[in-house]
Structure 1
Amino acid sequence: MAQGTTTLAPVEVEAPRPRLVAPARHSGSAAKGRHAARRPAPPVAVASGVGATNPGANVAQLPVGAASEKNISGTDVNARPLSRPVEALEVAPGLIITQHSGDGKANQYFLRGVNLDHGTDLAITIDGMPVNMRTHGHGQGYADMNFLIPELISVVNVRKGPYFADEGDFSSVGAIHVSLIDSVERTMASITTGSFGYNRAFGVTSGKTGDGNLLVAAEANIYNGPWDDPDKLKKINAVVRYSQGTPDNGFSLTGMAYANRWNSTDQVPLRAITSGQIGLYGALDPTDGGNAERFSISGRYRDSDSTSATKVDFYAIKSKLNLWNNFTFFLSDPENGDQFHQNDDRVLGGINASHTFKGYLGGFRTETEIGAQSRYDNINVSLGNTVRRQFLSTTRSDLVKEASAGIFVQNTTWWTDWLRSNVGWRGDYYNASVSSLFNAANSGTANATIGSPKAGLVFGPFARTELFVNAGEGFHSNDARGVTIRESPSDGSPVDSSPFLVKTRGAEVGLRTKLIPGLTSSIALFTLESASEILFVGDAGDTEASRPSRRIGFEWTNDYKPTSWLSLEADLAMTRARFRGSNADQAAAYAELDGYPASQTGNAPGNYIPGAPNMIASAGIRLGEAKGWFGALRYRYFGPRPLTEDAAFISPATGLLNGQVGYRFDNGWRIQLDAFNILNSKSDQITYAYGSLLKTDALFAACFPAGGGAPTAPAAVCQTGIMDRILHPVEPLALRVTLAGAF
């Protein structure tokens, strides 16, 4: 199939698409002075907890290349109540992060009206290391942030849109770059205990070693959660870093180790709850869960002066994931159930390097950055059917070697005191070799190249206000298994392969103003368009196409600090997301279900994009000085989403209020109480709509008669199951107490 010319196809998240066409086993988740604007280097600072100075204190003054770009200090990140580590990234305006199962699995992301699955089209890095995993066992772009220790964050840089030449794979909707601290002034330790068996211990220390600093940090965490079948999460995490010099002239070497194991209460059909089969916090398959490991070594080198700057980041990562899920229960296998196992075991490494030339050309100040980025993944990935985590059969198993190399150039020129331009281009080359261990027809090699131009203009400042105009193209890679596939692993039928690299296009115009003292306000209008794209469905080992779509929206962000002891924040993001064109296949599938409304509802053709949020909002208040009483309140609103193309199923909106209150003593000790879901909402943390089958459904007996008789329901109906709202509830009101000290 010809390579698409645009991307950002809507992705389904952890749920079989409610379409009947080519049903497949476990068709669950989608495998889916002014200076030149650049990502800030991590400042040398202390951790954001007890006895801290202010890491990244001046990040608000760092230059940005678009109205939607933002830099947030580690202090501001840690001033929020965080129920799980990845929520530190919700400092990105308009970003919602949810979880549909155990807390060891990668979270799910929503931004700019895009259902990003576990990280598709949202590039995340930690100190230059990519978090997104390509050709991953559970989904393309899988971004597991459970190894992040929030107290070690120095700066979070947030970018949105395909406008930056140094951003590559998975960055079409946005990119989040987390920089970690190099040192702490005092050794710090904390213990936290709370509702539902939550316990955590954390410690960090640093000291002079030779000509540099050695930092050591560790955490241990256990948690059961409110679930009828406890999560029994057990996590350990450690970071060791040696650094010399400054962020602009120096280097660091960092080692990380992470291990986690958990049970999970996955999403369940609403009918199972309303019928009394299970409670709101119950599970239909209590053996779901997983385990994960991650080990890495990374390095950072910086050398700069008034005429040039050199940046080098390198990394080597070993990661492993075993995951057991059951999304459709007894739809495919009436005896053993539909649980499946996904395994991803890989080693990857890469290097990113760039050099910036600073000077004047024709009397105009200019900076030109030239860079190269490379990455290599050696992957062992498989999908199989299980019952209570016991092996039944293999759907597919593959050895994949995937390599990529990218080059980029970007130039910033100051034409006047009120006008600067940023023009760039990047080119990327990808190569993959797939060895399918059980079906040689799906083995093969693939190569692809793609070019991506970028451009931006910044007008101002006028009255402490700047106008930004940005446009560009980007891309994301597809799962290499979907690029070489020829036959469905489920039934051997012919399937279309997917393009390796898929182009994206986006544009944005926005304003950022500091006209009112203490207030930084920005508004951005954006558009994203996508053409037909074929996605590899990790839970089925198959591929699946989607239609063209268009998203138009705006984001409004406000940060107000009228005094040293009071901060206010308010963000609003709204997006209109729709498919374009018609869906003849879906219309035919809908007709086949006629006479069975429980299966037909939600399968009508339409132009709504399942899971695309049209409104996301948040607001917060923070009070307190460096010592004495402090507190915070934050409200997060996750608007309703259409769950099917015809919007027959719509998710409820979810509003959560979290709070924090505490006291910092003069001697460096701190006591803190965090409260999550203060209003005790019973809403959904995440919602889907698709077909499934329970043994208590009347349709189950019609599709699988006792004694092995012939089904009395049509095959199309039995393959679809009962359409229903599938949900994972918000965790109830929870309290956590932290005692921390600096020594």
Structure 2
Amino acid sequence: MNFFKSIYSTIFFVLVGSAALAQGISGKVVDETGLAIEAVLVQNLHTDQHTHTNQQGTFLLNGIEAGDTLTLTHAAYNTISVVVKEEKERTIILELKTFELDQITVSPEVNALNVVSKIDLKTTPVNSSQEVLRKVPGLIIGQHAGGGKAEQIFLRGFDIDHGTDIAISVDGMPVNMVSHAHGQGYADLHFVIPETIEKIDFGKGTYYADQGNFSTAGYVAFQTKDRLENNIIQTEIGQYNTKRLFSLINLSRNSHHAAYVASEYLTTDGYFESPQNFSRLNVMGKYTGELDNNNKLSVSASHFQSSWDASGQIPERAVETNIISRFGAIDDTEGGNTSRSNLNLNYIHQLSKNSSLTSRFYLSHYDFELYSNFTFYLEDAEHGDQIRQKEDRNMFGFNSEWNRFIALPNGSINLSAGVGLRDDQTTGTALSHSLNRQTTLETLKLGDIHETNSYAYAQAELVRGKWTVNPALRLDYFQFGYYDRLSETYENNQVEKGILSPKLNVLYQHSPLLQYYLKTGIGFHSNDTRVVVAEEGESILPKAYSSDLGLIWKAHPRLLVNAAVWNLFLEQEFVYVGDAGIVEPSGKTNRSGFDLGVRWQLLDWLYFSQDVNYAYARSVSDPEGENYIPLAPDLTAVGTLSISGQSNWYGSIQYRYISDRPANEDNTIVAEGYTVVDTNLGYQFKHFDLGLKIQNLFDVEWKETQFATESRLFNETSSVEEIHYTPGIPFCATAMLRYKF
């Protein structure tokens, strides 16, 4: 703590002492329509001083003399050079460009690796809900309940389940649900229409002060478009009676105000023998206005609802003995329905030329009901083991962050501090034993949850010469409340807990082509409210210690390489198993590994990307040979070859690979790895696009999600523990017609 006090004292005195230096050239960067452009790198070629435009497109750079040359760089716009004259303020216009990797530079900022997602979104745009999370390098997903349930997530040696150790947000609004009926951190991203995504910000590890709960393995922050380039109406028709209708419609568009609505409707029977009867409806509206004095207001509202049937996870023995096919079911009455309505407001207030205040407010209402049967007739030999999980939730929160940029003669200081609160209240969070989705046989758990997370953080980026030092400190305070409706006496359990999380990141910017970095930080693994009250507040916020040592290297004008070695140590945790309503303790764990990524523009129109990620994950508390972490992936790889800008053709072919991995603690049951190839191809006319998308091009048989589960079939006298799995999609073709106007 003394170290961080010294750092912040230094920042304060430099801030006061350098106030007189906060003069130079200020400006605003806009596109050809007058819209502000965020995250433009502005660099003085004479002194190597640099800064970035903020969300209002403004920047301030000191130590500038007449005759100096500034370069302005952004992935989506042509790089230009500007000679400084006598003016103190100016507006600079950038032109949209055909994407080229040779114009990308390594930005001298803490999270410069986001350039990877910028490249990927430009070369292979997102066109399905499954591809949204796959845009994060090293992140693997799997679906195992009919397409309506949130995906299972794997990252850095974590089986994250549906979101326990990765923080996901959209326009600053959290996606993860705390103390969810199905499990902690449940993150259903299906309320996002993929084509509305403008930017993906991601980070791995515990190094970011503005990221708190769930950000153990990392975070993913999606940002939706502020305005549209075109109106779009699109229809898709595919195998298995798959249909999708989608639209993006401008309501208003000028240089200062924009509004649009987006809608999506998707139905499919799925590839299982029992039809999924899946349907999803999404509607979203967004307004963005640039107000006086470079202030900015953004308001969005959305509604999502989905329903489905599912065939669930099937045991290997049932397929091998021909009781069912690999697309059959033991219990085809699984499935569920869910909905979410959101209101989200973001306001950026420009306090001065070099300081701003960003405030966010969100409100969400969420419903969830899920029917599952993992063990079949293990517990109830007569009726079966189907369970029902249900909740009704209201969530609201806000966050305000102050930023101040100070330019110095040979460097700069960027200060930020934020406070926020998130409050979740559920009614009737339930776990029940059910029959055929019609009858409740027994209510196992029933209660109301009230969980509040208030937080504050402060950080600085001190840049001097080629070095950047980023100290930060975050404080989280939790209040957990659980009212047990099944208790014979009134029980409203309350527990409070706080945790302090310091961070320190150091960058060395060798040149605009090469950056080395060392990131270190302490975070935490949060626990379900029902775990907290059951354990009476003991060890409920175990700490996570992580570090990354890596580089980002522009090895060639058209070749970008990123590499890192990393380690993450996690203290004791308790896990609430939502499917059984029990608490399972887990000991200390350690994970280490490496990430390697390549982005290469082979030709003007041909792009190649490759990510390889390795993780060695083990329990520290258990003996050798019995210390495997179930389902923790060790080796994963994703590669893409895409075409863009060649005449009117566009398309890509992509593979994803995950190796065999242990399914239980002693590795006697193994989850099989797989390699799957997808492809798409399209042609653009003046107003129309025609496209074809194929999933599982080579029609391989693969197991998308797998678990070591003990179960008993109806005619069996004893239970068996083995792999239970959801088969991955077979060859599936979908045609697309898009009209742009």
Instruction: State the TM-score bracket (shorter-chain normalisation).
Output: 0.7 to 0.9
Cα 1:645–1:61 shift into 2, 3 Å = same
Please state if 1:414 is matched with 2:460.
no
Which residue of 172, 175, 190 maps to 1:128? 172
Q: Deviations over 1:430-476 (max 9, x none)?
A: 11221100025864001000000000110122472110001000123
Which residue of 300, 312, 323 maps to 1:254? 300
Q: Aligned letter for 2:703?
A: D
- Tell me the secondary structure at the aligned position of residue 163 of structure 2: coil
Which residue of 728, 731, 734 maps to 1:733? 731
How far does residue 400 in structure 1 lie from its aligned partner after superposition? 1.2
Please state if 1:388 is matched with 2:388.
no
Superposition pairs of residues 16-55 of structure 1, within 5 angstroms: 33=42
- Tell me the secondary structure at the aligned position of residue 133 of structure 2: helix
Cα distance between partner residues in 1 of 2:238 and 2:158 = 34
Which residue of 479, 482, 500 maps to 2:540? 500
Cα 1:38–1:624 shift into 2, 3 Å = closer
- Scaled by the length of structure 2, the TM-score of the pair is 0.84
Q: Which has the higher strand share?
A: 2
**Counterpart of 1:155?**
199
Please state if 1:685 is matched with 2:704.
yes
Cα distance between partner residues in 1 of 2:158 and 2:514 = 29
- Tell me the secondary structure at the aligned position of residue 272 of structure 1: helix
Cα distance between partner residues in 2 of 1:67 and 1:463 = 11
Q: Deviations over 1:393-440 (max 9, x none)?
A: 101111111111100001001122x11111100001111221100025
How far does residue 100 in structure 1 lie from its aligned partner after superposition? 1.1
Cα distance between partner residues in 1 of 2:329 and 2:740 = 42
Superposition pairs of residues 156-175 of structure 1, within 5 angstroms: 156-175=200-219
Structure 1 segments of 4+ aligned residues over 3 angstroms from their partners: 33-45, 52-64, 66-71, 246-249, 303-306, 360-364, 440-443, 496-500
Report the count of equivalent residues: 653
The one of the two structures with greater contact order (alpha-carbon pairs below 8 A, sep at least 6) is 1
Say if 1:428 and 1:451, in contact at 8 Å, map to a contact too: yes
- Aligned sequence identity (%): 28
How far does residue 698 in structure 1 lie from its aligned partner after superposition? 3.8
Cα distance between partner residues in 1 of 2:131 and 2:353 = 38
Say if 1:324 and 1:341, in contact at 8 Å, map to a contact too: yes
Superposition pairs of residues 425-574 of structure 1, within 5 angstroms: 425-439=473-487, 440=489, 443-462=492-511, 464-485=513-534, 499-574=539-614
Cα distance between partner residues in 2 of 1:502 and 1:38 = 36
Say if 1:443 and 1:485, in contact at 8 Å, map to a contact too: no
**Counterpart of 1:322?**
369
- Tell me the secondary structure at the aligned position of residue 348 of structure 2: strand
Q: Aligned letter for 2:569?
A: E
Q: Deviations over 1:276-307 (max 9, x none)?
A: 11110011111100000000000111234541
Cα distance between partner residues in 1 of 2:231 and 2:737 = 14
Please state if 1:347 is matched with 2:404.
no
**Counterpart of 2:691?**
672
Cα distance between partner residues in 2 of 1:224 and 1:610 = 32
How far does residue 313 in structure 1 lie from its aligned partner after superposition? 1.5
**Counterpart of 2:16?**
none
Cα distance between partner residues in 1 of 2:105 and 2:306 = 35
**Counterpart of 1:724?**
722
**Counterpart of 1:493?**
none
Cα distance between partner residues in 2 of 1:208 and 1:200 = 26
Q: Aligned letter for 1:278?
A: I
How far does residue 38 in structure 1 lie from its aligned partner after superposition? 9.9
Cα distance between partner residues in 2 of 1:167 and 1:40 = 19
- Scaled by the length of structure 1, the TM-score of the pair is 0.83
Say if 1:577 and 1:608, in contact at 8 Å, map to a contact too: yes
Q: Aligned letter for 1:619?
A: G
**Counterpart of 2:315?**
269
Say if 1:55 and 1:73, in contact at 8 Å, map to a contact too: no
Say if 1:195 and 1:736, in contact at 8 Å, map to a contact too: yes
Please state if 1:651 is matched with 2:671.
yes
**Counterpart of 1:4?**
none
Say if 2:99 and 2:122, in contact at 8 Å, map to a contact too: no
**Counterpart of 1:372?**
419
Superposition pairs of residues 163-242 of structure 1, within 5 angstroms: 163-208=207-252, 212-242=257-287
Q: Deviations over 1:608-641 (max 9, x none)?
A: 1110111010111111317511221000001111
- Tell me the secondary structure at the aligned position of residue 238 of structure 1: strand
How far does residue 60 in structure 1 lie from its aligned partner after superposition? 7.2
Cα 1:458–1:206 shift into 2, 3 Å = same
- Tell me the secondary structure at the aligned position of residue 168 of structure 1: coil
Cα distance between partner residues in 2 of 1:621 and 1:281 = 31
Cα distance between partner residues in 1 of 2:453 and 2:580 = 26
How far does residue 563 in structure 1 lie from its aligned partner after superposition? 3.6
Say if 1:638 and 1:654, in contact at 8 Å, map to a contact too: yes
Q: Deviations over 1:638-678 (max 9, x none)?
A: 1111001110111111111000111011x221000001001
User: Please, which moves more after superposition, 295-304 or 424-433?
Assistant: 295-304
**Counterpart of 1:663?**
683
Cα distance between partner residues in 2 of 1:103 and 1:36 = 46
Cα 1:262–1:429 shift into 2, 3 Å = same
Cα 1:557–1:336 shift into 2, 3 Å = same
Cα distance between partner residues in 1 of 2:120 and 2:547 = 32
**Counterpart of 1:695?**
714
**Counterpart of 1:634?**
654
Cα distance between partner residues in 1 of 2:423 and 2:265 = 31
Cα 1:485–1:572 shift into 2, 3 Å = same
Cα distance between partner residues in 1 of 2:53 and 2:313 = 38
Q: Deviations over 1:191-232 (max 9, x none)?
A: 000011110000011132796221111010001111011111
Say if 1:677 and 1:733, in contact at 8 Å, map to a contact too: yes
Cα distance between partner residues in 1 of 2:729 and 2:209 = 40
User: Please, which moves more after superposition, 498-507 or 262-271?
Assistant: 498-507
Say if 1:97 and 1:108, in contact at 8 Å, map to a contact too: yes
Which residue of 323, 327, 340 maps to 1:281? 327
Say if 2:410 and 2:464, in contact at 8 Å, map to a contact too: no
Say if 2:123 and 2:643, in contact at 8 Å, map to a contact too: no
How far does residue 515 in structure 1 lie from its aligned partner after superposition? 2.6
Q: Aligned letter for 2:672?
A: P
